[in-house]
Structure 1
């Protein structure tokens, strides 16, 4: 193949690395070529590798958590695709009932309207328009970070197929008795005006007060004191409770008390739930507004008084002056009235955990209402058994404890939501016979009495009720499609820890319940992204990092590689914007190294037939590349993205760039044309395989460079074969031989640095080599060593050095396996100055070592200190000891010279 014209090369391979010039173009080319579609390659007959994306909210935008999750999923998917497995990554978005309805209502409010003004049908149509606008944004953002999803397989949790799956699952479970309706105390968000499941409540520490209130006895014999943090709920009190074994109150049981601020009286009852150590050990029982009181109410057949409207304002069951007040205002008014009535004994500061809505952060109120529930105990037992049987594995493993603990303490799942946007509950109420009909299709007649006087339930299902079906509904379930048969169960789930309860465990339960097997085997829990101060990134703190801003400034590869490099399994991920410069610098290094190699085609002809004519240098780099491939493969089996990216970084930056390319210049700058052509062909072969190795982590730059290679194996790197570690034992000796050359160069460089010898000063090296193979390696790479170690000459000695030789040449004793070298540099060193410097260093090291030894000699320290601190001191002693040996040897050499 002929050489390139310089102008042609510069036009196709600019000097400056500018990712924005090619990233979007490359992604478009991948899509156009349908490279993301599942297809087996290279004779791989393994089962398909399938990943379903944790569907982001359709109205959301990508934050760094999405950037992390999407990047790691894509790395896995690209790796498996290049192994030749039929690989499918299903993209999709979630209708996110509460969040999306909130966005739509906010827009209507700006127009002076509410959803009630426009009506349910028009409002739902409007939300669909909102969804379409936002959907385009989120899917484009996923493309920008390089997500190689099969967009032809994209799904939406409210699309026609998933809607059918939701109805089918509801009807099946209702008919099996696993879904039921009942009046229960639920978590209620007054702003969203909907019920929430236990898992949708987020708790935070808050400062408040504990109010001690008098409840006067009707018989006039005194009063009972009740401690409450919510005095506004006194209007809903239906009893006072004391412990049946509390001797202080045995005589009070059965008596009546006046309810403060009202004209009602209630009885004192006995219940073992009461904590005899809290407050006055007298509990006000308000079944409509406390889950524990609700259970007491059921046990004692007590009435319930609900004092709130669904929007949180106090209702008609409170005095007129309280009606219409917010909870906060009602609490202030209640405290003021209690003080006026001289019923408030005192108030104490209180720190307690308060529940908040996971969407809007409004304080959650327990609220009595009729809701739909899923019975969880049976399915939880199945999910626990699947774990015990080894059918699912968490990475890191510690999350298995979280999974098991939640399942063992599970409560029934409230699945109804008082919203208009979502899957409407497929239940119809008959006005004629009073019975409920459920159906997978819309009903016009009661299934019990055939009356047409029926009405569908107004509520919708919890968003998670559709997403718990996600791993099989995306493939057409309940229809037994070919896709379902081929791609279920999926392979790996990559998700954040905060939805283990919301989503992961429920998907496992749904998979076992409807499909008879777990939906995935491996569950990788991503690190939690924090800022440099260790705080969780959030809109409230304003400490988030927009991943798309990183893409714009540094490129998608910088974003992805930095995330992978820093994602240590089981540890949080602290990030700031500057950290992504590391990934950008690595990409720039790849660009410059590749440009250097390919630039040699301007003067050197590329001859592919020479690509396997390896020198010892080539065998060494191929050996290192093979080792890196092995490390990457091992890391992927344990989802250690950091280990894999470190292996790639260390290989390419250190071995390939700093050593191989530098050493290769000896061939490129030689007069031997045949050697130039051989070196170019071999090095481009190594580069091609190196690009394949790094592609999953840096897909854009690797593909851009790959397209410029004269020796690419496939139309696109994304579908080229991934490097597989081979048995390279036959290269081991050659690789070790060059390893000796590398060691020698490194030692010479270290000596030059230690003695402050300028770079333009050339040194004579005298080398004795016992091994013939290493002698040949030294001779073969003489030019490399002269240039990289900045030597004047290398003289090979025929016999081993003696003390006279060492003293004559300053005795800088470089020792490797089977070689010893002496550097002639006495004339370049100020002996007295160097002795003084090394003597000072030796004194400092000795002092530090003695301090560490003194600590270890102290029995109190050894016995009482943290074991890691003791181990650290022992490590310091060893390090200082080694430093002393080196310094003493250098001093001895200088003194004897």
Structure 2
């Protein structure tokens, strides 16, 4: 092994070896364990959220693979219709080409070319992170196998009456000229205006109001108004209900209706109803049987349903002209500032229009009820469990699902139209003609739209397993790998993806897609801010793995920003935070950082300081391994060791405890606690203590004890590497390859070795207690030496006082270890004699004394003791405060209360000892 830990020298090499050897393929005779990768967009790059979730998935997969499960991590990518069309469109623009200019077939050919050369970036980056998916089974949603599933699902749902074509209100992006999903709409508060407009009553009754004042934030949509609504209990307008108003600027008569949706206290209590351009208005229009008048074109200009003078105007130019015309007619009553939620497309940044158009929909009433039932009855479980409330809320308010998109890239809708506009659905044109008796001479044209990406993604659990082709299903293990074991995903797509997979998998296969859904939090920066390009706080996980210079980081963060002032601000902040760029932490340190943050909280604050700490951890493991290998050079052992020393028996017992805790944390999806467990065992118990406790035996005269200790060092190191491997696969593999030959292990990789089980290692409570006593004694004496400023190599006499028979027995038993580890030259019991002025360490009631004569400045020691007494008094005060609290004593678990009482007793004993020591110094 190299003297220094440098992940850059072996991580890429080790991954290539794993993949080429087929180490990631399903194997094992145990039960199946399957994880579905949420397919990242083919346009994407690995971001921090991806890297976090992929780390968790890979840890699960590696753990269960080592447990002997038949493990499959189903990987793949999504064609991402809108995003991909935008990327390829921008590339074409650089060549002075356009999508429409190329035509459909040529454009799709360009998309495939782009996908072939640039679209698999994220999979390459996943490899760099260490993701151990079976890439030979990788699926792209536009591959023939999943494409066949998409067509089959569409046709079957249509035949069952669950898919229909109809005119409904959708989110419309006027730049992309397509419907988009709610997930692709970002609504944020923006400053705007609230305009109050006078609508006159037609033929008002004597004494009744002759007009209404209607407030709106979107006066351009008034061209499509079909009614004005008031609350049924609003007495101000009771006389006008059923009357008609003259729609300003349009000369149409519209009724006054009543609806509970109206808030009497907001504005004037009168709401204009425009069903074709507002989702709430659409619902009101459906309840009251109102006409829907669309006044926009697909590009958000005014269409021919509006008065001639506004036709062809952009929506915002139309707004200006309408306001001017209203003011000229004396109908613009008031204009005042107003803060409102503005929906924008996440791809284009343009304001989204609720738009009435013909689309394909899936009926969701029965499917939604079934999807809710499967979760409510526990067929699918959420981790943490509270996310069922979010799922329940969304499913309880489910609407029919718009599945068509006005794009070219995607799964084309399997529907054909004749010249009369009649629609026929089938798996292909030949089936349509055969089923409906349409002669070859009759022209048919296929629907130009494609299915939204979420439709194919909803089939992911079974389309990746060959459905509906029986041969493909048998080849890919449909019966074995469905349902999958767990889905790891974010809370933002519980409805858009998780719910739809549950509904579709149940509908087509009669099974749930997965047994559990582990919902992760959102990765934010160290201050809790969302990572975004505009904030300039985005971190690229690959940069954290391989490092990046300050100049390159600035260029990456400011790339594409439109405002030079913002770019300058981001550059200044970046150079202040990372004056030397970001060092290379390696994949293992980054993975361990993510795992340590994987609590069950909603937000994850990422701090690079943790990555630095975990790189130090990997370095600590590396150095401990070099120590073990150096002391076992030329030796070979087989099987488990037969411990000859208490230190060996102790470390094996602690390893059993760590393995037991690790298994529990994985089962509970508490990767933060898993990380803490393996970190504490590796750093504190193995590297710090067992390596130190091994040195007396290795350097002693007892050859059998030395040989046994070498064997145990190798054995525990090898087991520790297995314990750590799911979290930090690269460094554990690199070290394991050096350790394995000395233990006669013939497995090709540590990943193919079994995960440590508690039953593999003997527990010995008495030995654990003895070694914990020794650790406390050595720690106490080292602290005294440090506080006194005495060199670690200077031998010191040790006086012992107090304690009980057990302390005397342990002192005698561990005399050699105390001498070696604490550098004591003699050990003497005072036997009732008055102790000289000494510095003391306490282990329970045993006092370990270092005589101060000729060693230190007694005045300085008095000051030190005084500070220590104050610290201990502070700890006692904290314990007393807790135990004096009725809430704590009454509600805390009994074990916790008892632990606090034991702490108080221990602190009190220490305080008595310190005060006695200070008294002896005069």
Deviations 1:606-660 (A, max 9, x none): 4548943442111111111111101100101101111111111000100111111
Deviations 1:447-485 (A, max 9, x none): 435143222111111101001110111000112322111
Matched, 1:895 2:905: no
- Please name the residue that 1:789 is paired with: 822
Residue pair 2:869, 2:914 contacting (<8 A) in 1 also = no
Match of 1:534 among 528, 532, 540: 528
Deviations 1:283-318 (A, max 9, x none): 212121112222333344433321211122222334
- Please name the residue that 1:105 is paired with: 89
CA drift of 1:722 comes to 0.9
> What secondary structure is seen at the aligned counterpart in 1 of 2:429?
coil
CA drift of 1:373 comes to 0.9
Match of 1:122 among 95, 102, 106: 106
- Please name the residue that 1:6 is paired with: none
Query: Number of aligned pairs?
Result: 863
> What secondary structure is seen at the aligned counterpart in 2 of 1:661?
helix
Distance 1:16 1:166 in 2: 53
CA drift of 1:846 comes to 6.4
Distance 1:843 1:598 in 2: 46
Deviations 1:696-724 (A, max 9, x none): 11100000111112223512111111111
1:286-685 equivalences in 2 (<5 Å) = 286-319=274-307, 322-432=310-420, 434-443=421-430, 445=433, 447-451=435-439, 452-480=442-470, 481-482=473-474, 483-552=477-546, 553-602=584-633, 605-608=635-638, 611-670=641-700, 675-685=705-715
CA drift of 1:826 comes to 4.8
Distance 1:845 1:636 in 2: 38
**CA pair 573-514 structure 1, distance change in 2 beyond 3 A:** same
1:707-746 equivalences in 2 (<5 Å) = 707-709=737-739, 710-711=742-743, 712-726=745-759, 731-746=764-779
Residue pair 2:417, 2:444 contacting (<8 A) in 1 also = yes
> What secondary structure is seen at the aligned counterpart in 1 of 2:167?
strand
Residue pair 1:763, 1:825 contacting (<8 A) in 2 also = no
Match of 1:89 among 73, 83, 86: 73
Residue pair 1:190, 1:310 contacting (<8 A) in 2 also = yes
Match of 1:64 among 44, 48, 63: 48
TM-score by length of 1: 0.90
Instruction: Select between 52-61 and 663-672 the one with higher mean Cα deviation.
Output: 663-672
CA drift of 1:882 comes to 7.3
Distance 2:867 2:776 in 1: 28
Distance 1:876 1:82 in 2: 39
Distance 1:479 1:780 in 2: 71
Deviations 1:809-828 (A, max 9, x none): 638363348x6544334543
> What secondary structure is seen at the aligned counterpart in 2 of 1:570?
coil
**CA pair 92-234 structure 1, distance change in 2 beyond 3 A:** same
CA drift of 1:118 comes to 0.8
- Please name the residue that 1:687 is paired with: 717
CA drift of 1:216 comes to 2.7
1:273-288 equivalences in 2 (<5 Å) = 273-288=261-276
Distance 1:877 1:207 in 2: 59
Residue pair 2:781, 2:841 contacting (<8 A) in 1 also = no
Deviations 1:70-92 (A, max 9, x none): 11100000000001111111110
Distance 1:440 1:826 in 2: 97
CA drift of 1:514 comes to 1.0
Deviations 1:574-621 (A, max 9, x none): 11333311221111111111112112245x644548943442111111
**CA pair 28-769 structure 1, distance change in 2 beyond 3 A:** farther
CA drift of 1:877 comes to 13
**CA pair 780-441 structure 1, distance change in 2 beyond 3 A:** farther
Distance 2:848 2:872 in 1: 27
CA drift of 1:18 comes to 1.1
TM-score by length of 2: 0.87
Unpaired stretches in structure 1, ≥5 consecutive residues: 1-12
Residue pair 1:605, 1:677 contacting (<8 A) in 2 also = no
Residue pair 1:767, 1:821 contacting (<8 A) in 2 also = yes
Two-structure CA RMSD over aligned residues (Å): 3.1
Residue pair 1:842, 1:888 contacting (<8 A) in 2 also = no
- Please name the residue that 1:50 is paired with: 34
**CA pair 269-566 structure 1, distance change in 2 beyond 3 A:** closer
CA drift of 1:195 comes to 1.2
CA drift of 1:760 comes to 4.4
Distance 2:422 2:621 in 1: 70
Distance 1:515 1:277 in 2: 51
> What secondary structure is seen at the aligned counterpart in 2 of 1:262?
coil
Residue pair 2:42, 2:120 contacting (<8 A) in 1 also = no
1:808-823 equivalences in 2 (<5 Å) = 808=836, 810=838, 812=840, 814-816=842-844, 821-823=848-850
Deviations 1:538-595 (A, max 9, x none): 2232211101111111111011111101211224211133331122111111111111
**CA pair 174-609 structure 1, distance change in 2 beyond 3 A:** closer
Residue pair 2:294, 2:356 contacting (<8 A) in 1 also = yes
Instruction: Select between 176-185 and 695-704 the one with higher mean Cα deviation.
Output: 176-185
Residue pair 2:784, 2:841 contacting (<8 A) in 1 also = no
Residue pair 1:610, 1:678 contacting (<8 A) in 2 also = no
> What secondary structure is seen at the aligned counterpart in 1 of 2:517?
strand
Distance 2:663 2:797 in 1: 44
CA drift of 1:261 comes to 3.1
**CA pair 245-501 structure 1, distance change in 2 beyond 3 A:** same
Distance 1:556 1:719 in 2: 20
**CA pair 150-841 structure 1, distance change in 2 beyond 3 A:** closer
- Please name the residue that 1:10 is paired with: none
Deviations 1:25-82 (A, max 9, x none): 1111111111111111xxxx53210111100000100001110011110000000000
CA drift of 1:728 comes to 5.4
Distance 1:99 1:835 in 2: 71
**CA pair 19-846 structure 1, distance change in 2 beyond 3 A:** closer
> What secondary structure is seen at the aligned counterpart in 2 of 1:445?
helix
Distance 2:348 2:113 in 1: 22
Residue pair 2:784, 2:839 contacting (<8 A) in 1 also = no
**CA pair 854-399 structure 1, distance change in 2 beyond 3 A:** closer
Instruction: Select between 167-176 and 315-324 the one with higher mean Cα deviation.
Output: 315-324
Distance 1:437 1:662 in 2: 79
- Please name the residue that 1:187 is paired with: 171
Matched, 1:169 2:153: yes
